[in-house]
Chains A and B, each alone.
Chain A
């Protein structure tokens, strides 16, 4: 059996997953900042670093997004049109609004204007939620790719966004020597999030195992094929199971070095998830 076919290049390389990663960190950091500033007084010291991370990560991510275009100088075209059927068009607009709000919010929080910062913070919450989930919807919209065409994807992206943002916030807090509780006070939250993440991944794999030939190919890529090392070892073992085990002990988590290593592992795991998902989705398509 020989086969001859024409293959066009993959549309997405490492830049799109990295944008998903940074965009997720931005939205997640914003959510954590609002949570820390107004809902949980124990975490108050996390609010400011998280608020500053949000616009910076988003600016870097959007920069990557523009550079990834084959016509970067035509980026303005997306800002003079609105295509209601396209998740990317919704995302462009909502992300722009979210960026402005996150800048204003970070500025107000830095100035110590609590009342206005609270208003801005609450205003930005729905935009942050959309910014964290629309990237998943963007892929889920493509009905031809069975791996992506699932309603779980936005929620997988949201959970990943919260995990990676928590990890980066803790990493920053540790590096500036802030006095905080175990894992920046986010230990329990991150534990729940990792559990939820694993649950979502398991249900995704189970559905893939019962899908068509494209799903079977995707599952093979994950478990035994090209991305099995990245998925099983980097994403699941290093990025979720090891942090899960380390986070279970409160005393271990008081050590800043352990905190930093755990946070780094979580960040690597979330990036691996985005990278493998984007690449495997492009690979697991026939014709």
Chain B
């Protein structure tokens, strides 16, 4: 559609402008359309990491708690990952329930909202992360977290919590707790990948999150949880 120099001499200025405008519009349209079509076809590359915990398979062995301590050098008295235990009923009809816990990596995280220094932030794969160099230790996020998964690191003197073993998942290795779980109760993966194990599991099973009424949109799902255990 471009106008050659020879033709340009024969046409008026107005005609030339009209033609070049049409050419520009055509070029713009041409460059937009294929891209749009491509975006529909191309799979989403952005990851949404999540953890599903199948409580029907959890035997409360605390392997996840222990391996997390070892993997992340978590000091005494504080935990990135732990298991709640609850006993229900009266003898002889009693039952024990386990609830493995970790940072819920909320999509609408109260801890990120209150952070005055910008240390708490959303990282790659929608993880909620703490920039330890930026953290001043005001502890607002510790109070704000509805899941009580944050604590002051006794040695580093900054706020710390589960980061889903970011150093491992960056290298395509599952978090340490997932690796250590002998019942394979913990399933880690990318929610944006419909073929991932976690996506398939959550598509086929009713799952619950902790404190759904707060609208924090946690990325930590529980399968087969007793209602009394979730309610909190």
Contacts of A143 in B (CB 8 A): 110, 144, 146, 214-216
A142 adjacent to B118 (CB under 8 Å): no
* Docked complex Cα distance between A55 and B115 (Å): 26
Q: Which residue of the partner chain, among B114, B158, B215, B232, contacts A141 with CB atoms under 8 Å? A: B114
* Closest Cβ–Cβ distance, residue A171 to chain B (whole Å): 31
Supposing A143-B214, A144-B211 touch, asked if A78 and B116 sit within 8 A by C-beta, the answer is yes
- In chain B, positions 135-162 with a C-beta closer than 8 Å to chain A are 135-140, 142-148, 150-152, 157-159
Which chain B residues lie closer than 8 Å to A285 at the CB level? 146, 148
Q: How far is the CB of A160 from chain B (nearest CB, A)?
A: 20
B135 pairs with A71, CB closer than 8 A:
yes
Stretch of A1-9, A222-230, A268-276 contacting B (4+ beta carbons < 8 Å): A1-9
Residues of B near A5 (CB, < 8 A) are: 84-85
* In-complex Cβ contact of B151 among A9, A83, A86, A286 (8 A): A9
Stretch of A28-36, A87-95, A111-119 on the interface side: A87-95
Instruction: Compute how far the CA of A8 lies from the CA of B158 in the bound complex, rounded to whole angstroms.
Output: 14
Let me know if B78 is at the binding interface, CB within 8 A: yes
CB distance from B209 to the nearest CB of A (A): 12
Contact B114 A87 (CB under 8 A): yes
A287 with B147: in contact, given A81-B117, A88-B114, A143-B110 (CB under 8 Å)?
Answer: yes
Chain B residues 96 to 152 lying within 8 A of chain A, measured CB to CB, are: 101, 110, 112-118, 134-140, 142-148, 150-152
Contact status A1-B88, CB under 8 Å: yes
Q: Is A145 an interface residue (CB 8 A)?
A: yes
Q: Determine if A282 is an interface residue (Cβ-Cβ < 8 Å).
A: yes
Does residue B7 face the partner (Cβ distance < 8 Å to A)? Answer: no
Q: Is the CB of B113 within 8 A of A141?
A: yes
Known pairs A143-B110, A144-B211; A69 contacts B82 (CB<8 A): no
A144 and B110 contact, Cβ closer than 8 Å, known pairs A5-B84, A8-B142, A71-B136: yes
B147: chain A residues at CB < 8 Å are: 144, 287
Q: Mark A244-287, 1 if CB is under 8 A from B, else 0.
A: 00000000000000000000000000000000000001100111
Task: Name the distance in Å between A130's Cβ and chain B's nearest Cβ.
Answer: 15
Interface status of B51 (Cβ within 8 A of chain A): no
Evaluate contact between A144 and B214: CB separation under 8 angstroms. yes
Is B152 within 8 A of A6, CB to CB? no
Mask, A121-155, CB within 8 Å of B = 1, is 00000000000000000100111110000000000
Residues of A within 8 A of B110 (CB): 141-144
Q: Is B87 an interface residue (CB 8 A)?
A: yes
Number of residues on chain B facing chain A (CB within 8 A)? 45
Q: Chain A nearest CB: distance from B228 CB in Å?
A: 11
- What residues of A have a CB within 8 angstroms of the CB of B226 in the complex? none
A40 within 8 A of B: no
Q: Which one of B78, B115, B137 lies within 8 Å of A8 (CB-CB)?
A: B78
Residues of B within 8 A of A210 (CB): none
Residue of A nearest to B81 (CB): A6
B221 within 8 A of A: no
Q: Tell whether, in the assembled complex, residue B143 and residue A83 are in contact, meaning their CB atoms are under 8 Å apart.
A: no
A185 to B215, CA, bound (A): 49
A6 with B82: CB separation less than 8 A: yes
Q: Are B232 and A12 in contact (CB under 8 A)?
A: no
B137 x A69 contact (CB < 8 A): yes
Distance (Å) between the CB of B106 and the closest chain A CB? 10
Most chain A Cβ neighbours within 10 Å, of B79, B82, B146: B146
- Judge whether B144 and A144 touch: CB under 8 Å: yes
Q: What are the residues of chain A within 8 A of B136 when measuring CB–CB?
A: 69-71, 74-75, 77-78
Question: Which A residues touch B71, using CB under 8 A?
Answer: none
Q: Cβ of B113: which chain A residues have Cβ within 8 Å of it?
A: 85-86, 141
Most A C-beta atoms less than 10 A away, residue of B84, B87, B140, B147: B140
Which A residues fall within an 8 A CB radius of B? 1-9, 11-12, 68-71, 74-75, 77-78, 81, 83, 85-89, 91-92, 138, 141-145, 212-213, 281-282, 285-287
In the assembled complex, 13 residue pairs joining A and B whose CB atoms fall closer than 8 Å, in A order, are: A2-B85, A7-B148, A12-B139, A70-B157, A71-B135, A74-B135, A78-B117, A86-B116, A144-B110, A144-B216, A285-B148, A287-B210, A287-B211
Q: Which 8 A-B pairs have the closest CB atoms?
A: A70-B137, A144-B146, A11-B139, A88-B116, A11-B142, A4-B85, A89-B116, A8-B151
